[in-house]
């Protein structure tokens, strides 16, 4: 049994298979899930687990070279915008509509219980060297 890191067996397995430039999405409870993209739903009540809680744990486990967020996050959800920007150096803003289209390329979408607007991020895997 693992004693640290991601304990969820599905997530741990997916993360182990990620290569450079592969993408995953962490989303709020309202983010649409494209057909054909695996979704791991961690939500158990509205607000739990939170977006920032899951982002923090994922960033401890993965090398992330870039993140994509909806440009609308900056004004509609300043708190989560701050959380993402303090944790990830390279961030690209796209429209929310473009963001939703981009999620179809994710290896997995992790659904949180977050219930604030635009609390979504696409993380692009980096390399450890």
Annotated catalytic residues are 20
As annotated, the binding site includes 28, 96, 118-120
Helices 78-87 & 51-61 angle (0-180, nearest 10): 10
Are the CB atoms for 26 and 93 separated by under 8 Å? no
Residue 62's contacts (CB-CB under 8 Å, 6 or more residues apart) are 15, 18, 24, 123, 125
As annotated, the binding site for substrate includes 28, 96, 118-120
Which residue is listed with tokens 């909806």? 70
C-alpha distances in Å from residue 48, one per residue of 21, 52, 113:
29, 10, 5
Which two tokens mark 75? 């004004």
Are the CB atoms for 21 and 105 separated by under 8 Å? no
């Amino acid at each position: 049994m693992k004693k640290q890191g991601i304990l969820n067996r599905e997530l741990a397995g997916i993360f182990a298979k990620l290569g450079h430039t592969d993408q995953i999405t962490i989303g709020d409870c309202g983010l649409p899930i494209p057909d054909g993209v695996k979704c791991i739903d961690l939500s158990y009540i509205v607000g739990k687990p939170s977006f920032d809680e899951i982002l923090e744990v994922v960033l401890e486990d993965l090398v992330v070279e870039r993140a994509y967020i909806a440009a609308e996050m900056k004004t509609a959800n300043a708190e989560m915008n701050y959380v993402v920007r303090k944790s990830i150096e390279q961030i690209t803003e796209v429209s929310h509509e473009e963001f939703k289209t981009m999620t179809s390329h994710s290896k997995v979408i992790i659904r949180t219980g977050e219930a604030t607007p635009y609390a979504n991020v696409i993380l692009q895997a980096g390399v450890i060297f």
